[in-house]
Amino acid sequence: MLILRCPAQLQLLEETLRKSLPTTLPVLGTVMTVARGNPASHEVLVDSWPQFSIVLTRLRPEDHRDPRDYYTNQLSVFYRDKGALQALLEGTEAVTRERAFQILGMQDGLDEAVQEVASARGLKVE
């Protein structure tokens, strides 16, 4: 996953996400916040740039204080392809299993994908 820090990239991503409202709403707010100074210490990650299949926003890992606090360890996701979501959950360091977390998203199939990956790994999902 690539971390977007360049203001021009964040602006382009913001414009792209606006075209797919309301499903992009969970990530769009964070993208806008990061592009405008990032007072909350968040990151915006994409699988590739400029053609992306998934956008993930999260608190910077160094700012995590309690690995059991799923509220602080909140992830927001927008994906164009359910396979990209499953790949994110299964095989990247962007989502770590050492911390409790919650995933916010508005797309159909998000819950099913999370349940599938969790059950394959023997993890508990609430």
User: Alpha-carbon distance 85 to 77, whole Å?
Assistant: 8
- Beta carbons within 8 Å of 10's beta carbon, 6+ residues apart: 4, 31, 34, 35, 44
88 three-state secondary structure: helix
pLDDT in tens, 89-118: 777 676 766 676 777 888 888 888 888 877
CA-to-CA separations, 49 to 9, 37, 113, in angstroms, rounded: 9, 21, 24
Looking at the domain assignment, is residue 52 inside a domain? yes
> Considering its fold, how many domains does the chain have in total?
1
- Is 30 within the bounds of a domain? yes
Residue 13 counted as domain residue = yes
pTM: 0.84
92 lies in some domain: yes
Q: Which domain holds residue 49?
A: 2-121
Indicate whether 96 belongs to any domain. yes
* Confidence grade of residue 70 (pLDDT, cut at 50, 70, 90): low
Express each pLDDT in 34-43 by its tens digit: 999 988 889 9
Full 3-state SS string of the chain = CEECCCHHHHHHHHHHHHCCCCCCHHHHHHHHHHHCCCCCCEEEEECCCCCCCEEEEEECHHHCCCCCCCCCCEEEEEECCHHHHHHHHHHCCCCCCCCCCEEECCCCCHHHHHHHHHHHHCCCCC
What gap in Å lies between CA 122 and CA 15, rounded to an integer?
39
- Decide if 126 is inside a domain: no
Compute the distance between CA of residue 27 and CA of residue 5 in angstroms, rounded to an integer.
15
21 in any annotated domain:
yes
Per-residue pLDDT, 89: 78
